[in-house]
Amino acid sequence: MKRIAVVASGRGSNFQAVIDAIRNGKVPAECVALITDNPKAYALERAKMSGIPCRIIDYATFPSREVYERALLATMQDVNADLFVLAGYMRILGASIVKAFPGKMINIHPALLPAFTGLHAQRQAFQYGVKVSGCTVHFVDESLDGGPIILQQCVPVLETDDEDALAERILMHEHECLPEAIRLFCEDRLVIEGRKVRVL
Q: Model confidence over 46-95: pLDDT tens digits?
A: 999 999 999 999 999 999 999 999 999 999 999 999 999 999 999 999 99
Q: Which residues of 91-104 are buried (b: 16+ CB within 10 A; e: fewer)?
A: eebbeebbeebebe
User: 97 falls in which pLDDT band (50, 70, 90)?
Assistant: very high
Per residue in 18-31, pLDDT (tens digit) is: 999 999 999 999 99
pLDDT at 10: 96
User: Which residues have a catalytic role annotated?
Assistant: 109
Mean pLDDT of the chain: 97
pLDDT at 185: 98
Domain locations in the chain? Answer: 2-199
Per residue in 31-48, pLDDT (tens digit) is: 999 999 999 999 999 999
User: 171 falls in which pLDDT band (50, 70, 90)?
Assistant: very high
CATH T-level fold of 2-199? Rossmann fold (3.40.50)
pLDDT at 91: 93
**Average pLDDT in the 157-171 region?**
96
Question: Residue 88, Cα to own-chain centre: how many angstroms?
Answer: 6
125 phi, psi to nearest 5 deg:
-65, -45
Q: 109 and 78 in contact (C-beta within 8 Å)?
A: no
DSSP-assigned beta bridge partners for residue 114: none
- Crossing angle of the two packed helices 13-23 and 163-186, in degrees rounded to 10: 40
DSSP-assigned beta bridge partners for residue 5: 33, 84
**Average pLDDT in the 143-166 region?**
96
